[in-house]
Amino acid sequence: MLCTVCLDRRCYIPVHNQSIDRCPVFVFSVSGRQPPFVLLLQHGHRQVPLNLFLVHYRFAVIQYWYLFHSFDDAFMEVSLVAENVFYSVGSKDILSGATIRADQGKITGLLGRNGSGKTTLLQCIFGAKKADECDVFFNNKKVRNPYTINGLLNYLPQKPFLPPGILVRDLVKDFGIDKDISLEHFPEMEAVLSKSVAQLSGGMERLISVLIILLADALFCFLDEPFSHIVPLHIEKIKQVILIQKRHKGIIIADHMHTHLLDISDQVYLLKEGKSILINDRNNLSLHGYLPQSLD
Pairing of strands 220-224, 153-156: parallel
Percent of the chain beyond pLDDT 90? 60
pLDDT recorded at residue 76:
52
Name which residue leads in pLDDT, 37 or 128.
128
pLDDT reading at 27 higher than 70? no
pLDDT of 67 over the 60 cut = no
What residue segments make up the domains of the chain, in order of their start? Answer: 2-75, 79-287
Backbone region of residue 229 per phi and psi (left: phi > 0; alpha: psi in -120 to 50; beta: other values): left
Query: Average pLDDT of 197-220?
Result: 95
Lowest mean pLDDT among 41-50, 85-94, 266-275: 41-50
Arithmetic mean of pLDDT, 161-178: 92
Distance CA 213, CA 215 (A): 6
Please give the average per-residue pLDDT across 257-275, as a whole number.
Answer: 94
Name the CATH topology of 79-287. Answer: Rossmann fold (3.40.50)
pLDDT reported for residue 80: 95
Mean per-residue pLDDT over the chain, rounded: 78
What pLDDT, on the 0 to 100 scale, is given for residue 116?
93
Q: What is the pLDDT of residue 242?
A: 96
DSSP strands (E only) in 32-132: 39-43, 46-49, 53-58, 61-66, 79-89, 92-103, 107-112
Alpha-helical regions (H) of 127-201:
168-174, 179-185
Quick check: pTM over 0.85? Answer: no
State the average pLDDT over residues 4-26.
34
pLDDT at site 294 = 66
57 pLDDT exceeds 50? no
pLDDT in tens, 180-195: 888 999 999 999 999 9
Nearest alpha carbon to residue 54 among 219, 213, 247:
219
**120 pLDDT more than 50:** yes
pLDDT score for 281: 85
Once rounded to an integer, what is the mean pLDDT over residues 149-169?
Answer: 93
